[in-house]
Amino acid sequence: MHMEIQKEIRVRELMHRGDLCYFLFFDWDKALQDLLKQIAGLRYSATYKAWYLLKREQLLTRLAHVPGYNLTFKMEEMPMEEKQSDAKTGEQTLAVPLKKLEEMEVEVLDAEKREKVDQLRQWMVSRRYSQNTISTYMDALKVFLNFYAFKPLAEISNADLVKFDNVYIAAKGLSSSYQNQVINAVKLFFRCVENRQLEIERVSRPKRKKVLPNVLSKEEVRAILGALKNTKHRAMLSLIYACGLRCGELLALKPEHLDAGHGFLLVKQGKGRKDRVVPLSERITAMIGVYMQEYSPERYIFEGQKRGEPYDERSLQQVLKQAVAKAGIKKPVSLHWLRHSYATHLLEGGTDLRYIQEILGHSSSRTTEIYTHVSRLSLQKIRSPFDTL
- Convert the pLDDT of each residue in 200-210 to its tens digit: 666 666 666 66
Q: Which amino acid is at 222?
A: R
155 in a structural domain:
yes
252 in a structural domain:
yes
Q: What kind and span of H or E run contains 178?
A: helix 176-192
The tally of domains found in the chain comes to 3
Of 289, 321, 336, the residue that ends a domain is 336
Question: Are 20 and 119 in a shared domain?
Answer: no
| Distance between CA atoms of residues 33 and 37, nearest Å | 6
Question: Are 179 and 254 in a shared domain?
Answer: no
CB contact at 8 A, 292 and 377: no
Question: Are 222 and 332 in a shared domain?
Answer: yes
Question: Are 323 and 244 in a shared domain?
Answer: yes
Question: Are 253 and 323 in a shared domain?
Answer: yes
Long-range contacts at 116-120 (CB < 8 A, ≥ 24 apart): 116/153, 116/189, 116/193, 116/194, 117/141, 117/142, 117/145, 117/189, 119/193, 120/188, 120/189, 120/192, 120/193
CB contact at 8 A, 57 and 142: no
357 in a structural domain:
no
386 in a structural domain:
no
Q: Identify the band that residue 131 occupies on the pLDDT scale cut at 50, 70 and 90.
A: confident
Of 290, 316, 336, the residue that ends a domain is 336
Burial of 146 (0-12, 13-18, 19+ CB in 10 A): buried
Question: Are 177 and 282 in a shared domain?
Answer: no
Q: Identify the band that residue 228 occupies on the pLDDT scale cut at 50, 70 and 90.
A: very high
Could you list the active site residues? 246, 271, 336, 339, 362, 371
Q: What is the CATH number of the domain that holds 320?
A: 1.10.443.10
Sign of the CA dihedral running 102, 107, 109, 110: negative
Question: Are 272 and 294 in a shared domain?
Answer: yes
Range of the domain at 264: 218-336
DSSP 272: T
372 in a structural domain:
no
Question: Are 231 and 272 in a shared domain?
Answer: yes
CB contact at 8 A, 378 and 347: yes
Predicted confidence at residue 292, as pLDDT, reads 92
- Checking if the pLDDT of 269 tops 50, the result is yes
59 in a structural domain:
yes
**What is the DSSP secondary-structure string of 301-348?**
SSB-SSTTSBPPHHHHHHHHHHHHHHTT--S---HHHHHHHHHHHHHH
Q: Identify the band that residue 380 occupies on the pLDDT scale cut at 50, 70 and 90.
A: low
Question: Are 174 and 271 in a shared domain?
Answer: no
Question: Are 151 and 96 in a shared domain?
Answer: no
Of 336, 359, 382, the residue that ends a domain is 336
